[in-house]
Structure formats: structure tokens, C-alpha cells
Structure 1
Amino acid sequence: MNIKSISIISLIVLLGCILGLRFKVKNGATQGSINDVRQLAQTPPMGWNSFDSYGVYLYEEAAFANLEAFAKKLKPHGYEYFVIDAGWFGEFKLQEGTLYPAEKHASELNIDEYGLLQPSKTYFPNGLRPIIDRCHELGIKFGIHLMRGIPRVAVEKNTKVKGTEYFARDIADTTSICEWNHQNYGVDMSKPGAQEFYNSLINQMAEWGVDFLKYDDLVPFPDEVEAIANAIEQCGRPIVYSLSPGGDVDVNAIKSFKRANMLRVTHDIWDDQVGLNQSFDAWRKWQGKEESGFWIDMDMIPFGKLQLMSPKPEGVVGNETKKDIAKKIESGELSNVELLAGKGWARQSKFTKDQMYTFITLRALSASPLMMGGNLPTLDDFSLELITHKDVLDCNQNGIMGKLIYEDKDVEIWKTPQKGNDGGWIGLFNRSESYKSFSISMSDLNLEEGKNKYHIYDIWNKTEVNKLNFEINQNGVIFLKYSSQ
């Protein structure tokens, strides 16, 4: 075979590779492109999300204030994702003379000629581009929330699916509607044009400069989970893919979930013991399911000031449930009260200090993504200290979900080994409403006595541990770091 023949063969092989790559991009992901996407989020993502503090009503001025605070308070500690949650496309009805919403979810959405969501003129009059550009100027990655499906208004207008001969009504599944937000219909992935719709939406996100997508109402619909993964992988921009909501998540669908980088496995977690208990339950269920590029997500960190767009109305005590409030509205006892997104009214987080220690220790040991939820410009020093604590971040970014190693009389011990050495971290949790005093052995900690001598340090009490006798407040924790001497 002569040199000319070899050159022709090489050219044919090269063209084949190029055509194969184009086929992947056009028709969705293959195993090779999945592996490329999974190179993202090699450690649990860390950032801020607007939902706990602003519900679905974040507005431009507050977004910029939180972004600047993020750059000063969180970025130096490795936090990198600034995420705007739902509602950024809603033309909300407002309470007269204020920016406070007068409806839970916007009845009017801003969409373009292809049914693609656009920034709200009400809350983002200058669009999202200035915020995204400022994120990138500061070395911060920008994230945004999307709901599964296609806007119902797009189906009503029968907008065209960009780049195709199909229309919104050709791909919408009008029987598939989110239980708690009726703005969208699901997309029937068996229909021509369905994948192209998701591609067009994600391509718009990539063009805007989006680095992180939180996709909601998605986990029960594996076909759409995969369709969005395909869309991300063809868009030409690295985008971290986060699945939400949590709650009842089918472990058997984990193959589809692993097309994403994060999987929410809890309901919305708020500043109460119920949320902590749900997190422990999820930890038990999902321990060991994490891997580099795929993290078990237990929702945001509700520290600091919360629900700022929901000031407590006159006549409301503040501790009523939504059902209680709804009954009072129905009876006429309360008027001009709208039950808004989120839980409760504007407040400082109601966690006790012990609950806060427990919360952040759980997040560290479980390698759950760290997404701060409270308002950053007004964040108190104690909350900031916890979410930026070196041992919390070292343990969390170690990227190993700890396992339950001991359980007795409301005391649980969870252990996370450190990669590459004999050290690690241990959490001793008092799951009861009463004070606990107890003693354990090295074997209870799964540390072999006599073989190695261990140095053990009590992180929160800032003391060396010489005897394994502990006292823990109700709903409290002892957070230990161990290393072989």
C-alpha cells in the first residue's frame, strides 16, 4: 500500500468520526457523550439558591445584592453556583405599590415565538443577561430553575417547535400536569418534535451562559429525564444537571437518574425537626448510591433570613399550617391573604443551634450538595461560620456518603472515611428530644483497637478526645475527625 492510499484511508476514517459525532449531537447522547457530561461535578456542587429566601419571587435588585454577597462571603470558600429558582419568567400580579406578589404562581408567562421562556419584565426588567455576565465576571457559575414540560400558554398559542415543522400541540401531553404548579404540560417523548423542543430550550440556556440547571417535577418521568440529558449533551456547553423534586423517588429508576449530576431525594427541607428527620430517612435509603459526577441531594440549607417576599399578614400568628390558613380564608376570618410559594412567613431560621450543628454535620457526612438558601446580604455570623467551616467543607468535598455504623436508644453513629488514608469523620447524633450521656468503644466506631493509635478531635467543641464518653443535647451532635498517628 502506498503513501497516497494510506492518506485516503486516513481521510475516510476522519470523515467517519466527524459524521459519527454529528450523529450523536443530532440524535441525543451515546455512552461516550454521557461519560463526557459526567466529568462535571466531580465533588458535591456548592452554591446558593434563591428559593428559601425569595420563593419564586426573586427580583433584579435582590439578585444583584445576593450575588455580590456571594462573591465576598462564599466564593472564597469554594462555593461556585449562583442559582435563580422558579418564577423568573412570570409576569406576576403585585400587591399595590410593592414588589410583593399577589398570586402564588404567575398566571401570565413570558414566552417567545417558539414557546421558550423569557425573563419576567416585572421582576427582571433588564433581562437576565446582566446578572449572568456579572456572575462570570466574578468567577461564579450561573444556574437557573426550569419546570418539566412545555408552557400551557405555548400550547394554547400553538407555537412552532424551533427548527422543525412541528407545533406545541403536536408534542404536548395535556394529561400530564404538575400537581403543585399548573403552568406546564408534560412532553410526550414518543412524538416527533419532542426532543427538538427540549433541544431548543437547552440551546437557549447555553446561549445565555447557563452553567447549572435545576429541573423540577421531573424524577417520576424517566423519559423526560433522559430527553433533557440528551438536550444538554448536544448543546455544546458544560451544564450541571440537577433533578428535582424529591420525596418519593424510585430507586429502580437510578439508571435514568444517573444521566444527571444531582438527584433530590427529599421533599422541601425547612427550618424544623421534620426536615431533619426526613433528611436522616433519605440518608438511610440512599447511602452508597453516590459516585463522582452523581450526588444524592437533600435540598437547600435553610439558615439565615427566609421567605422575605411573604411578610406575615395581619391576623396571622405565624405558626399556623397552610391548611389552617386556608380554613380561615374560606371562613372569611382572614382576607387579602395569599398562600405563597415556600413555607411560612418572613423570619429568621427557627433552627436551634443544636439543630444547625446537626443539619450541617449531616450534610458534611452525607456528601450532599451544599446549596445555601437564606438571604446572603443579611446572613448572621454563626450561619456563615457553619457553612464555611473548613472541616465541614473538607468532609463534604471528600465525596463519600457516610454509612450508619451504630444505633442504640436514639443515638446514631455515621462514619465517612477519608479518601487515600486511614482517617475520616464521624457523627454521633442524638435523635431524641432529651439530653443523652453515653459511652462507646473504639469497635463501636469501627476503629480497630491496638492495631493503630488514633488521634480523635471533637470539631464543634474544639477539644482533643481522650475518652469515648459523650454528652449530647437534644437533637444535637458530636462531630469527630479521626486520623491514625
Structure 2
Amino acid sequence: MNIKNINALSFFLVIMLVIGLGFVPIKINQGKKDQLNLAKTPPMGWNSFDSYGVYLHEEAALANLEAFAKKLKPHGYEYFVIDAGWFGEFKLKEGTIYPAEKHAVELNINEYGLLQPSKTYFPNGLKPIIDRCHELGLKFGIHLMRGIPRVAVENNTKVKGTEYFAQDIADTTSICDWNHQNYGVDMSKPGAQEFYNSLMNQMADWGVDFLKYDDLVPYPEEIEGIARAIKQSERPMVYSLSPGGTVDVNAIDAFKKANMLRVTPDIWDDQEGLDQCFAAWRKWQGQEAPGFWIDMDMIPFGQLQLMSPKPQGVKGDETKKEISEKIKSGELHNIELLAGKGWHRHSHFTKDQMYTFITLRALSASPLMMGGDLPSLDDFSLKLVTNDDIIACNQNGIMGHLIYEKNNIEIWKTPHTSEDSGWIGIFNRSAKKQSMSFSMDDLKLDINKDYFIYNIWKEREVGNLFFDINANGVVFLKYSNKLI
């Protein structure tokens, strides 16, 4: 046997041994496969912004993580997401952990301009939190801002693995309106893709499972660049786009590179937020698909804005504009308007608004991301966000459509994916109680079929279709054909 044949035989035997031992190099293919299988139903989890703004700290993060595992995980919630500010070396109010600035001027970055955990709020880094998250069988998420830190551009840090520098790729004319910490990245420049690759590789190395990417929706080139960076990292990560508000439907192809698309502004505990969700629902109904969900922001139930104690001289119901005017006039002193809306409070929603809010989220298949503080969460809020019918309707993954609109009453219907059954929400969009009767045709149900109809919030079978609906309230129905 000549040398060439021996080498060929050796190669064959090595390949057979590798296959026999199960050491087939499938990492890249498996990563691609897992990425395609992400978010087949609307993601469910917790995000820190409503309760901690951009000032979540280590102790609160760990407390919320343990409460998450106890209260939400048994009901299918899985993503624990730390929002913005985790990299900021905040100035603090003397003798407290409360921030003395809205957004940190000093950011913690490494030699490649990549953000690192704040030594102020995360003295032990994020690794203990990420590790504990995975130990509990949960998935870890983190917030990022579009672009590259301005401090990296000022220091002209090197783009990892390239001959390029931060100043070669930054678009210094592209700055977020409400957070000036970053410049945009010009994706036409050499080194731009490599910068995002290096950032996503760091996220993958840390064990990140979910990315909330902010200030990104108006920039399709960067949306696609980050999608490529996630793919090359070989770690499946749910990719969530923010913020919402004025979102261009015509850019849907770029948006579908991600798994979630924010279509509302920040939603808070007031009627304005509810109205914004209804408007977004109308605009985006039918755009959802397994792996791509229309996101209407977090659920502001429970304790909110824990890092923003109400200052002396503030009533608590003023707008930011009113507070700013009082600061300028000298009426208020030493007050910093912090991230988020308002001051520390329990959610201002009425119970009827809460019923409406969570029913809308279920019927619209919007991701269920709890926003309030979990250790202190009240029983009523917990009961709503863990309700079996809410979760079943939401995870059904069909964005309901409007079937009736009259006298400030809207009826939205979400059919089951595979059965002659589903869910219906009868919403009173007015500020006064209404009593109304409906027909089977109003509910778009076949009059020739015999249906079982159940009132979820009243916990009883429906005998007729006459309902008293409180102001800004809802009747939430589940229907099924008795023959199935």
C-alpha cells in the first residue's frame, strides 16, 4: 500500500471515529437552525425599565431574578431582561444609590470600544446574574443602543480584529434624540460590520439570549448589520427592535430580520398608553408570524420607578414639561428629571384598565414582558399576568382582528390556530359605563353551530349576549364549538 492510500485510509478512519463518538462539528449549522427556531410564539419575560429606569443595580437584579423564577417561570415566562444603563458609571446622590444624572456621562468600555458592566451598579459584573439566570432554567437578555459609544470615538479605539478604528466607522451626524451616548455606525465603511460582529461575539461569550436594541427602527442598514452579526456569532439570540411610535410599514422586510418590532412609544400606566396600543393594533394587525411579533412594550403593573423617589415640592402628577418650567423658574431646586415617566408609585391603572390592558395583549399576540417590580408585586397584578386564558390566547400566536365598531364599542376576535374556537374581547372605549346586547353575527360566530361561551373575567358561562361594560373596561370571552 503506497503512502497516498495510507493517508486516505487514515483520514477515513478518523472521520468514522469522530462520527461514532458523536463529535460531529455541528456548532455552526446548529446555531443557524436554532436562530430560525427562535420566538415561535410571542416571547414572555420581565424587563427592568418600568420599575428601575436605567438604574437597575445588582441587589435589585438578583432579587427580581429569584422572584421571577418563583412567580412567573411556572407559567411559561422565560426571558429576564436588563434594560439600559448597565454600563453607566452614574453620579449618585450623596449617601444613596439613587442617580444624580439622567444618563451617565461616564461609560465603562474596553480597549475595543465595547460596553462593559458598570462598576457603580454591578461591582461584581453581570456574570453572577447571567449564571444564576441559567441555573434557574431562564434566559438572559440585555439592552443595547444603536451605534458605537461616543467615548470610543473620542478615544479612537481599535475595531477588534481589524486595522480600522472607531473614527473610521462612526457617523457623527447620527445621534439619538433622547440619549446622546452613542454615534451611529456607517455600514458602508470598512470595519463597520466587524464592529457589530465583535459586539455580538461579546454578547454570545457572556451567554446573552435576548437583545433589546434601541434607537434602531429608523435605520434599516444597521438593523440588517446587527442581524448578520448575531448570525455569525453562532449563538441564538432573540432580536428585539425599539423604539416604536412612528414606524414605517414599508420597511417591514428589514424589520423581519428581527424577532420583535416595537410599534408604540413607551407605554405607561395611563389611558393615553392604552389608546396608543389600540391604534398600533389597528395599524399592524396581520403582520405577525412565528418568529416575528408586533411588540406593544412592557406591562406597567405593580411598583414603578423605584429609583426615582418623589422630590420635595412635587405633587407627582405634573408633566415633565411642567417640572422643567418650575426648575427654570427656581420654584424647584436640585431635581433631576430621570429616565422613565413620573416618580416612584404603584401603577395608576384602575382595575378595569388593567383588565383591558392584559386582554388587549393576549388578543393581539404582543410579547408579554412584565415591567413592574417582581418581589413586591401585588396579588391582583400577578393573577392577571399569569392567567391561564391570557397566556393560552397570547401563545396561540394570532393577532386578533377588529370585527365590530359602534358607539365606542370595539370587538376584537382571535381564532384558535387549529380548532373552531378562540377568544373575543368586547372593549368599551368610552369613559362611561355601557350596557349592550350583541348577536352571534356581531361576534362573527356561525348561527348554525352550538357554541360554549365563557366569560373569563366573570368566571362563568354566558347565558345570553347582554353585557354591562365598565368605563374603559372589557368583556373577555372564550368560545368553542360544542361538537369539537
Q: TM-score, normalised by structure 1?
A: 0.93
1: CA distance between counterparts of 2:478 and 2:249? Answer: 31
1:347–1:356 CA distance, 2 compared to 1 (3 A): same
Which residue number corresponds to residue 185 of structure 1?
A: 183
2: CA distance between counterparts of 1:136 and 1:299? Answer: 24
| Greater alpha carbon shift after TM alignment, 460-469 vs 270-279 | 460-469
2: CA distance between counterparts of 1:434 and 1:69? Answer: 37
Which residue number corresponds to residue 74 of structure 1?
A: 72
Instruction: For 1:48-447, list aligned pairs within 5 A.
Output: 48-447=46-445
- Note if contact 1:38-1:261 (Cα within 8 Å) is conserved in structure 2: no
The CA deviation at 1:37 is 2.5
- Note if contact 2:245-2:265 (Cα within 8 Å) is conserved in structure 1: yes
The CA deviation at 1:34 is 7.5
Q: Deviations over 1:140-181 (max 9, x none)?
A: 100000000000000000000000000000000000000000
- Note if contact 2:175-2:183 (Cα within 8 Å) is conserved in structure 1: yes
* 3-state DSSP of counterpart to 2:442: helix
The CA deviation at 1:419 is 1.2
2: CA distance between counterparts of 1:332 and 1:111? Answer: 37
2: CA distance between counterparts of 1:137 and 1:310? Answer: 31
Which residue number corresponds to residue 462 of structure 1?
A: 459
2: CA distance between counterparts of 1:145 and 1:87? Answer: 8
Q: Deviations over 1:95-140 (max 9, x none)?
A: 0000000000000000000000000000000000000000000001
Letter in 1 for 2:161: G
1: CA distance between counterparts of 2:36 and 2:295? Answer: 16
Letter in 2 for 1:243: L
* 3-state DSSP of counterpart to 1:155: helix
The CA deviation at 1:36 is 5.6
The CA deviation at 1:236 is 1.1
1: CA distance between counterparts of 2:175 and 2:479? Answer: 49
Which residue number corresponds to residue 479 of structure 1?
A: 476
Letter in 2 for 1:160: K
* 3-state DSSP of counterpart to 2:374: coil
Residues matched between the structures, number: 462
CA RMSD of aligned residues (A): 1.8
- Note if contact 2:34-2:236 (Cα within 8 Å) is conserved in structure 1: no
1: CA distance between counterparts of 2:312 and 2:98? Answer: 15
Q: Deviations over 1:428-448 (max 9, x none)?
A: 000000010111100111101
Q: TM-score, normalised by structure 2?
A: 0.93
Letter in 2 for 1:52: D
Q: Deviations over 1:245-295 (max 9, x none)?
A: 011000000000000000000000000000000000000000000000000
Identity of matched residues, %: 76
Letter in 2 for 1:91: E
Show structure 1 runs of 5+ residues with no match. Answer: 15-21
Runs of 4+ in structure 1 off by over 2 angstroms are 32-38
